[in-house]
Structure 1
Amino acid sequence: MQQVLLGAALLAALCWNLAHASEIKDLQLDTGATGTRAEIGLAGQVDYKVISLSGPDRLVLDLSDAELARGFRAPAAVGIVKAIRTGHPEPGITRIVFDLAAPVVALKPRLEPSGSGTRLVLEWPGDNADEPSAVAASSELDKALQAPATPPAANEPEVDPSAASAAATARLIANMSAAQPQASAPQNPPPAASAGTTVATGVPTRIATGVPATMPNAAQADAESPAPTQPVPGKTLQQVMRGRGMRPLVVAIDPGHGGQDPGAIGMNGKREKDVTLAIGRELARQINATPGLKAYMTRDSDVFIPLNRRAQLARGAKADIFVSIHADAAENRSAAGASVYVLSLKGASSQRARWLADKENASDLIGGVSLQKGNVLANVLLDLTQSGHMKASEDAAGHVLDSLGRVGSARRVERANFAVLRTSDMPAMLVETAYISNPQEERLLTDPAHQRKVAAAVLDGINQYFTRQPPPGTLYAARAASSGGGAVGGGSP
């Protein structure tokens, strides 16, 4: 009898564990600079299958031997996801259907560990420059930026030289738009209106349009009313860039740490992972407001991402430059200022740089990722390809450091073997924005106004780098050619 009772108890425990391990606890959905992201909370490992369907566009997720938890509720629609439905197409299968607003292909799903089990992550990359949430400056070509910007208020930072760059961009766009075939404009076009926009510094300005509105094409003009009385909007920046075979320069923003890895913690309890995410989001906002640039964030929520995965995400987004955002820490509480680091394959430029690289490279250990040496040949090839980008990385880092020096104190560009910078095919840098271990700088790092200044400084350095070395086929290269800058090239080799 004892053996029978013991066997029954073990069987009951096994059944309970199996049922608990296959429970779908929750579903979270959000959107940001990287696109739309769905996180499905699981009590344990499950087998799943993803199917993409069209007409209408859907993504179907089938989870084997999984059941929805009691009280499970699907979140409201957001981003590319119009609606979420659940069901059981057959016994033992739980189906989650994501109705999509456009035929966007999701990135490969991945499982991420969490404190309460496992999370299945689905991501749909998005171009926020075409969405309503993006700033109008990156989507309205017909605003020619001919008039000077309104002076900022007394409590606002002064507009830096990026404003002149934005004006030059607009004049170029106006010339490009005028060169396109278009229907004849009215003899007396209406006066140009004033429209709001944002320059690279993030400072709101009022810009006057200086180009008459144009008809889309002659065929449409004949089909419509013969005497239009209202101006027709001009082409957007994206339309003109695509029409001329130009592409935006993609800036990969990597907010350091995240999830179970809090990073450094300040005297007042502020965590590095929260500071870097806030600055990264602000930097993405300002980049998407800059003509010719587009932001991609490796993480837009509080999740842990292994170091090599961050570089893979940037490569998958075809980024032209990689910027990892961090906040420094030291035992000396008076240590202050910003620093910029680039990759070195031949040792560190200082003991401080070597110590910092070792600390940042240990992030995977905190996140529970086993460190593997990997394939020797692959590492050799990575070193050879990365070496071609080291000079470009140092040039870009120098511009960013100079800009940060106008916000606060800054030192020099340092070099060390940072794992996160081993991106192989683009310039890369790690920006230590300030010391979170310094109580004064800890307060600044959590101040939204200061975060905007830091983001604007990083953007200004990136803008200067691409302006001096514009990659071919981009708005920066076209602007350089139109201003008589000579041959264009460089940027991301």
Structure 2
Amino acid sequence: MERLLLGAALLAALVWNLAQAAEIRDVRLATGATGTRAEIALDAAARYSVLRLANPDRLVLDLPQSALASGVRLPAAAGVVKAVRTGQPAAGTLRIVFDLAQPVAALTPRLEPAAQGARLVVEWPGDGEPAGAASATVAAPVRSAAVPSAGSAAAVAPAASDAAAVAASNAATSRLISEIIGARTPAAPASSAAAAGPATVAASAPPSTAVTVPASGAPAPTPGIAARAEPPAANAPVLATPPAARPLDPPVRAEGLRPLVIAIDAGHGGQDPGAIGPNGRREKDVTLAIARELARQINATPGLKAVLTRDTDVFLPLHRRTQLARQARADMFISIHADAAENRNARGSSVYVLSLKGASSQRARWLADKENAADLIGGVKVKSADDTLTSVLIDLTQSGQMRASEDAAHHVLSGLARVGRNHKPNIERANFAVLRTSDMPAMLVETAFISNPDEERLLTDPGHQRRLASAVLEGINTYFTRQPPPGTLYAMRAQQAAQATAATGTGGAP
């Protein structure tokens, strides 16, 4: 009887092992705008383990009870993968080794069902070769969903004929958002404005002072201590007072004209420090310093007015940041951040806009997921069904601002290129929750990589902060000069320029 039981157990173990065994039928490698991707085709789902090694950098996959099928050829180098090798660390175990050209962290490998078995997918986002650079090295095409390229025709700035359509969409969107917010958020009494947030400045503040919208729900300052007087963290960047920004043009008579309001969002804050550099600098401190400097320069520019979503070290939920911008009737929303990557050599600035149809690269998707997780760090609860419905309605009205956001982002990216290098030559797209503003152009600016020691030092330098702010302001000026909203100083300048041109042309006619 014991022999029968033992035999049955051995047979069951053999059957289980055979069920977990797999034959590797193909190994493919491709690179493009989304990074580098490896696909391992299996005849059935199989167990696997992952091992990451450094010096030299490698990613190792071990597949127990698996083997290469006869005739399988390993692919040539592509993207960040220098070579693909196989081995057998133990009897019955197949090992696949990816030798990496640089220390880029792979996304978590995943097993996907396929028409004839399964496939094991490994992806290294963003920092590989540019799309098309390594096409000759790809062993076979990888079937994957196409995403819009950052340099595609969809990224072309809108023509002047689109201005009326965009304006009409803006008006309809503003009415919808006002109805949504008005129906669900009771108006705060004027007497409570001073207690609504930690850094409220009266609307009659002098031009050199940024106006901060009251951040209801934010932690209140300690009684008896002014919000501006809190001591900075030991590693917080020190912001010097630079000279006033150069105005665009000689001032013109501006009675009755409204200023263009620019909402500036300093990323992270409070219990959410953001990325931390190799020398301990925190993203939330860097973004606040740059946001304050940008606000100072904007307020020194005729025709513009700055609004800060936060002016102290407080946490704000993502939806609250955009809500504050809408309450201020902002004409543009700019969220300031500092990038980070596993690869400490990654450097340069990037500008992102909202996409509801997928990310333009693996890195853009990864960054959006990371930034969207900020609410989890701050302890924000999951949205209710009513909130979800509101988000859907906002998404439906977002398309009217998509191209306007891309146009403005292109100008800002061009300005940043004159301060230092850009990480990518074109704007990127992903589903950033903080950019779902619907009724104004919006962008997220990654000023530099705080994970890079050299750029971490620059990000805390007041002079470099001043240059970054000037570059962003240059993009803002260019955008509104080319598409001036009615009733603004920019529109008056455009009208005067057009009249002067017409007068000169008429006067010179025979």
Q: Shorter-chain TM-score category?
A: 0.5 to 0.7
Q: Show the counterpart of 2:305.
A: 294
| Aligned partners of 1:51 and 1:60 also within 8 Å | no
For residue 241 of structure 1, give the secondary structure of its aligned residue in structure 2: coil
Question: Which of 462, 468, 487 is the equivalent residue of 1:454?
Answer: 468
Q: Show the counterpart of 1:368.
A: 379
Deviations 1:395-420 (A, max 9, x none): 00000000000001112200000000
Write the mapping of 1:147-226 to structure 2, written as runs, cut at 5 A: 165-167=248-250, 170=251, 173=252, 176=253
Q: Show the counterpart of 1:189.
A: none
Q: Measured at CA, do residues 281 and 355 of structure 1 come closer, stay the same or move farther in structure 2, by a change above 3 Å?
A: same
**Greater Cα radius of gyration, structure 1 or 2:** 2
Q: Measured at CA, do residues 473 and 333 of structure 1 come closer, stay the same or move farther in structure 2, by a change above 3 Å?
A: same
For residue 166 of structure 1, give the secondary structure of its aligned residue in structure 2: coil
Q: Show the counterpart of 2:415.
A: 403
Letter in structure 1 aligned against 2:368: A
Q: Measured at CA, do residues 414 and 373 of structure 1 come closer, stay the same or move farther in structure 2, by a change above 3 Å?
A: farther
Q: Measured at CA, do residues 364 and 377 of structure 1 come closer, stay the same or move farther in structure 2, by a change above 3 Å?
A: closer
Once the two structures are TM-superposed, the CA of residue 122 in structure 1 deviates from its matched residue by: 12
Which structure has more RCO (C-alpha within 8 Å, separation ≥ 6)? Answer: 2
Letter in structure 2 aligned against 1:166: D
Once the two structures are TM-superposed, the CA of residue 320 in structure 1 deviates from its matched residue by: 0.1
Q: How far apart, in 1, do the equivalents of 2:308 and 2:286 lie?
A: 15
Letter in structure 2 aligned against 1:430: L
Q: Measured at CA, do residues 272 and 483 of structure 1 come closer, stay the same or move farther in structure 2, by a change above 3 Å?
A: same
Q: Show the counterpart of 2:14.
A: none
Once the two structures are TM-superposed, the CA of residue 379 in structure 1 deviates from its matched residue by: 2.8
Unaligned runs of 5+ in 1: 1-49, 62-74, 82-105, 124-133, 138-158, 177-239, 488-493
| Aligned partners of 2:215 and 2:309 also within 8 Å | no
| Aligned partners of 1:403 and 1:457 also within 8 Å | yes
Write the mapping of 1:371-450 to structure 2, written as runs, cut at 5 A: 371-372=382-383, 374-375=385-386, 376-410=388-422, 411=424, 412-450=426-464
| Aligned partners of 2:242 and 2:466 also within 8 Å | no
Q: Show the counterpart of 1:197.
A: none
Q: Show the counterpart of 2:292.
A: 281
Q: Show the counterpart of 1:482.
A: 496
Question: Which of 262, 277, 282 is the equivalent residue of 1:271?
Answer: 282
Q: How far apart, in 1, do the equivalents of 2:325 and 2:481 lie?
A: 22
How many residue pairs are counted as aligned between the two chains? 289
Deviations 1:230-275 (A, max 9, x none): xxxxxxxxxx432xxx100000000000000000000000000000
Write the mapping of 1:28-177 to structure 2, written as runs, cut at 5 A: 110-112=216-218, 165-167=248-250, 170=251, 173=252, 176=253
Question: Which of 335, 346, 357 is the equivalent residue of 2:346?
Answer: 335
Letter in structure 1 aligned against 2:335: S
Q: Measured at CA, do residues 59 and 369 of structure 1 come closer, stay the same or move farther in structure 2, by a change above 3 Å?
A: closer
Q: Show the counterpart of 2:360.
A: 349
For residue 249 of structure 2, give the secondary structure of its aligned residue in structure 1: helix
| Aligned partners of 1:254 and 1:310 also within 8 Å | yes
Q: How far apart, in 2, do the equivalents of 1:276 and 1:109 lie?
A: 17
For residue 483 of structure 1, give the secondary structure of its aligned residue in structure 2: helix
For residue 453 of structure 1, give the secondary structure of its aligned residue in structure 2: helix
For residue 465 of structure 1, give the secondary structure of its aligned residue in structure 2: helix
Unaligned runs of 5+ in 2: 1-187, 204-211, 228-240, 502-510
Identity across the alignment (%): 66
Q: Show the counterpart of 2:103.
A: none
Q: Measured at CA, do residues 122 and 370 of structure 1 come closer, stay the same or move farther in structure 2, by a change above 3 Å?
A: farther
Q: Measured at CA, do residues 448 and 367 of structure 1 come closer, stay the same or move farther in structure 2, by a change above 3 Å?
A: same
Superposed CA RMSD in Å reads 3.6
Once the two structures are TM-superposed, the CA of residue 485 in structure 1 deviates from its matched residue by: 7.6
Once the two structures are TM-superposed, the CA of residue 385 in structure 1 deviates from its matched residue by: 1.4
Once the two structures are TM-superposed, the CA of residue 380 in structure 1 deviates from its matched residue by: 2.9
| Aligned partners of 2:350 and 2:448 also within 8 Å | yes
For residue 110 of structure 1, give the secondary structure of its aligned residue in structure 2: coil
| Aligned partners of 1:258 and 1:305 also within 8 Å | yes
Q: Show the counterpart of 1:313.
A: 324
Normalising by structure 1, we get a TM-score of 0.53
Once the two structures are TM-superposed, the CA of residue 370 in structure 1 deviates from its matched residue by: 1.5
Q: Measured at CA, do residues 442 and 380 of structure 1 come closer, stay the same or move farther in structure 2, by a change above 3 Å?
A: same
Once the two structures are TM-superposed, the CA of residue 377 in structure 1 deviates from its matched residue by: 3.9
Deviations 1:3-56 (A, max 9, x none): xxxxxxxxxxxxxxxxxxxxxxxxxxxxxxxxxxxxxxxxxxxxxxx9767xxx
